[in-house]
Every structure is written in structure tokens, then in C-alpha cells.
Amino acid sequence: MSFQKQLRELLKPYYWINIFLSISYVLAKKLVPLCAKLFKHRGEDMCELDSRETEILFFLLIVVMIRSRKTGSVTMVNYLSASFLYTKVANAILWAYSDFRYGIGFFLLCVLVSTVLPEPSYSGPEHIIYFRNMHTFEEELVRDKRINWMICFYTVWNPSCVNFAPIFAELSAEYNLENLKFGKVDIGRFPDVAQKYRISDSSFSRQLPTVICFKNGKEVERRPCVDAKGKLQKFFFSADNIRAAFGLNQLYKECVENSIKKPKQMITTAATAVKKSQ
């Protein structure tokens, strides 16, 4: 996602309102007229952060950095989305620390915002087949072995999977061909698929999402993968990393050169050949 596109994304109400909520306490402290009204009960140093408030903010910074890396956030929008929950919790604690009534009010405001403004979902073009059971999935893999498949194994509740969804959708729109297709399997709903392909779907899993490339009905590449020592290798799910890891540009070129002719095309070709022979 380009920087300009990220800025356009941040103009959506969901993001700027949540950004405001995430910095609301510090903002209230730094705006002197507002601070004087809200924190007059705290005495002379009412507009200064005390040691406890500083500790909470410092701890918040550490948590956001760690969690953002674990969710594979690689863009500004991803970092913000991954951090909103923690920043709002920290702000609720800070408001309650100052005045319990402020904490309750802030919590109710966050609930209202999350109800009225859910996180925007990807609405662009995509060419993804969603498999509803293991039988259909495996049947499709072997139905025509000329077709190469890029399959994303995911769960709806995992933040990394949520962040990767628009990236996978954009890649599917860019690279989709008759012999290069994209699919998704929700292993939260179909744990038998997760078991067969050795993907953990636990809440602590570092294998979500997992993307596997199938050729001739067989797995040829996956990310994240396991090294020679059996250790899971960290992988950041950006569009460029997916292109590089799976050689998508080369695979696309090969698929174009060996394209599958549709029945109508084959009939037209045959008819042309007959005419030339007459």
C-alpha cells in the first residue's frame, strides 16, 4: 500500500476517531483550558503527567511495539489498527486513575464508537474462491492439475489474518488466471484441514496466516515455513514479500505462456484450421 493510499485510508472516520481516543488523555493534559476544567481537583500540578501516568504510557508503548510485530504489521494503517485496542485500554485506565467517573464515561464512549464505526474492510476487486469443506478443497486441487493454486489458511479472529486479507485480495486481482487461482480456507471452522496441513489454529499460533502454493495438486512452497532444525521462521506478510517468496511474477509469466484454452477458444481454433485446410 502506497503512502498516499495509506493517508486516504486514514481519512475514514474509523481511523481518525480512534486516533483521537488513543491520545485523548495526553491531549486533555496538554490543552491548558481543558486541563484546568477536567483536573482542577488534582491541585497545582494538574496539567503534568505524574510518575504513575508516565509508567502506564511507557508500558503501553512497549506492548504496542511487541504486539504490532507479532501481528506482522508492515504499514502505518496496520500498526494503528493493531494498537487501537491497547491504546484505548491504557487511556481508560488513565482516565479512571484521574477520576473513576471519567473512566466509566470513556469506556462507554469506546463501546459506542466500536458499535457505530466498525473497522473498514477491504472492498476492492478480488478473485478468491472460499472453500467450505475439506472434500471440496481437495477435489478442486486434483480436478485439473494444470491449475496452480495459492491458498491462504486463516481464522477470522486472528489479527494477522485480518491484516493480510486485503493484501491477499489485491494479489488475487493482480495475478488471477485460468491456471493460477487463489483460494482461502477458514481452519477455525474446518480444523481437519489444519491438522492435515500441520497448521496450528490455537490463539498462540505463529502459523496464522499460512499461505501454501500447490502445483500439480501438491504443495511446493509455504510461508511461514520450518527450517532444517524444525524451527518456524518468522515471515512478514506484505505484498512484496509474498511476490518474492513464491516467485509470483515468474509463476504468472509461466502460466500466461502455458495458458489453458477455454472450450470456445478451442472450437474457434479448430474451425479456423478446417477453413485453412479447404
Q: How does pLDDT run across 45-78, given as a tens digit for each residue?
A: 678 888 888 888 888 888 777 766 655 555 677 6
Q: How confident is the model at residue 171 (pLDDT cuts 50, 70, 90)?
A: very high
Q: Tell me how long the chain is.
A: 278
Give the per-residue SS3 of 193-232: HHHHCCCCCCCCCCCCCEEEEEECCEEEEEECCECCCCCE
Nine-digit cell string for 179: 491456471
Among 61-65, 83-87, 122-126, 271-275, top mean pLDDT goes to: 83-87
pLDDT at 277: 41
More confident residue, 76 or 190: 190
Residue type, 155: T
Fold designation for 128-262: Glutaredoxin (3.40.30)
pLDDT at 149: 95
- 120: nearest Cα among 77, 155, 65, 90: 77
Q: How far apart are CA 151 and CA 140, in angstroms?
A: 12
The yes-or-no verdict on residue 273 having pLDDT over 60 is: no
182: helix, strand or coil: strand
Q: How far apart are CA 77 and CA 25, in angstroms?
A: 22
Domain with CATH 3.40.30.10 in the chain: 128-262
Nine-digit cell string for 141: 486441487
The residue-averaged pLDDT of 7-24 equals 88
The yes-or-no verdict on residue 278 having pLDDT over 70 is: no
- The bridge status of strand 210-215 relative to strand 148-154 is antiparallel
Lowest mean pLDDT among 25-34, 122-131, 255-264: 255-264
The residue-averaged pLDDT of 217-241 equals 87
Mean pLDDT of the chain: 83
Lowest mean pLDDT among 5-9, 194-198, 247-251: 5-9
pLDDT at 222: 94
More confident residue, 204 or 168: 168
CA–chain centroid gap for 158, Å, is 9
More confident residue, 203 or 252: 252
pLDDT above 90 covers a percentage of the chain that reads 35
pLDDT at 276: 42
pLDDT at 70: 56
